[in-house]
């Protein structure tokens, strides 16, 4: 990769730099020869994520456009009473794409009328060593990382992407050959702020809560699923394969461990009781 415009992220004060970069995108669009193109199905979407207060959450930005593009610009608003912007970074797709030349990417937070505003901009063709490309399939373009503030109220908070023009910044795909920018359908994102709670430690697979993994845990799961027995003391413990659901595969997973010793169960397991490292819809374990 050439060095004068490497992949980079700027945390603050990027407004002027982005304006300059936007101008560069515009100039580049007039240099690259290509035919005009329109795509009513183009879309630029901010995704979803969930986290508890004090945790970080990563939200994808995806794009789809049938026309060749040279980049995109994006302004996303967030509720500063609940979220703090940490960083924005290019997706694995962009990083891979940019192997043929420099990738210019930046993101930063600005305060906009009570909302935080993320500015993201990439130009994957500068300085014309990488050709413009279409995104015929929905493609990950970037990741926005936020911290859920420690005192954030539970519930859904919107990542605002629906406005074509967010103050002085446009949410568009840039097109080559002096063609007008492509205006995609814009879709807001959301962050689900989960309740802040102190969860109890558990051992993965310990469905009956006796701090041991044995056949009675298998019976506990099967009894709950098929015989109307009471629910496991801790859903995360019964979710032996940590896929966020309790079903027959969890009983099988425990059996395979017990009798074949084929692969440890997901954490917390080998290192002893602990917290669930993966967020899911299962309730926290009671403290005891």
Contacts to Ca ion by CB under 5 A: 206, 208, 210, 212, 217, 239, 241-243, 245, 250, 276, 278, 280
Please tell me what DSSP assigns to residue 286.
P
Residue 88 CB neighbours (<10 A): 27
| Residue 137 to residues 34, 133, 263, Cα–Cα distance (Å) | 21, 12, 36
Residue 147 or 280: which CB sits closer to Ca ion?
280
Please tell me what DSSP assigns to residue 100.
G
> Residue 244 Cβ, how far from Ca ion at the closest point, in Å?
6
The SS3 assignment for 214 reads: coil
Phi, psi values for residue 249, rounded to 5°: -65, -25
Residue 101 or 273: which CB sits closer to Ca ion?
273
> Residue 203 Cβ, how far from Ca ion at the closest point, in Å?
7
The SS3 assignment for 225 reads: helix
Residue 58 or 280: which CB sits closer to Ca ion?
280
Residue 39 or 239: which CB sits closer to Ca ion?
239
Closest chain position to Ca ion (CB) = 278
Residue 87 or 245: which CB sits closer to Ca ion?
245
CA atoms of 158 and 124, how far apart (whole Å): 28
> Residue 104 Cβ, how far from Ca ion at the closest point, in Å?
38
CA atoms of 272 and 213, how far apart (whole Å): 11
> Residue 18 Cβ, how far from Ca ion at the closest point, in Å?
38
Helices and strands, counts by H and E, the chain:
5, 14
> Residue 149 Cβ, how far from Ca ion at the closest point, in Å?
23
């Amino acid at each position: 990769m050439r060095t004068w415009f490497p992949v980079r992220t700027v945390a603050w004060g990027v407004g002027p730099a982005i304006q300059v970069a936007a101008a560069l995108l515009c100039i580049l669009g007039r240099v690259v020869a290509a035919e005009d193109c329109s795509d009513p199905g183009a879309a630029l979407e901010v995704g979803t994520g969930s986290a508890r207060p004090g945790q970080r959450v990563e939200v994808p930005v995806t794009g789809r456009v049938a026309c060749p593009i040279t980049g995109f610009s994006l302004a996303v608003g967030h509720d500063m009473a609940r979220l703090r912007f940490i960083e924005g970074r290019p997706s694995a797709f962009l990083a891979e794409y940019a192997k043929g030349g420099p990738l210019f990417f930046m993101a930063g937070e600005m305060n906009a009328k009570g909302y935080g505003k993320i500015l993201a901009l990439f130009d994957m063709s500068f300085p014309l060593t990488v050709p413009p490309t279409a995104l015929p399939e929905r493609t990950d373009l970037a990741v926005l990382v936020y911290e859920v503030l420690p005192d954030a109220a539970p519930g859904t908070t919107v990542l605002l992407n629906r406005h074509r023009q967010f103050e002085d910044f446009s949410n568009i795909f840039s097109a080559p050959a002096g063609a007008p920018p492509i205006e995609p359908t814009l879709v807001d994102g959301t962050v689900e702020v989960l309740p802040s709670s102190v969860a109890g430690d558990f051992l993965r697979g310990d469905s009956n809560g006796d701090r041991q993994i044995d056949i009675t845990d298998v019976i506990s799961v099967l009894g709950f699923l098929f015989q109307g027995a009471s629910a496991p003391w801790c859903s995360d413990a019964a979710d032996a394969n940590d896929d966020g659901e309790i079903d027959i595969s969890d009983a099988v997973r425990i059996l395979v461990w017990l009798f074949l010793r084929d692969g440890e169960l997901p954490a917390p397991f080998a290192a002893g009781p602990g917290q669930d490292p993966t967020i899911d819809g299962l309730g926290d374990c009671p403290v005891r």
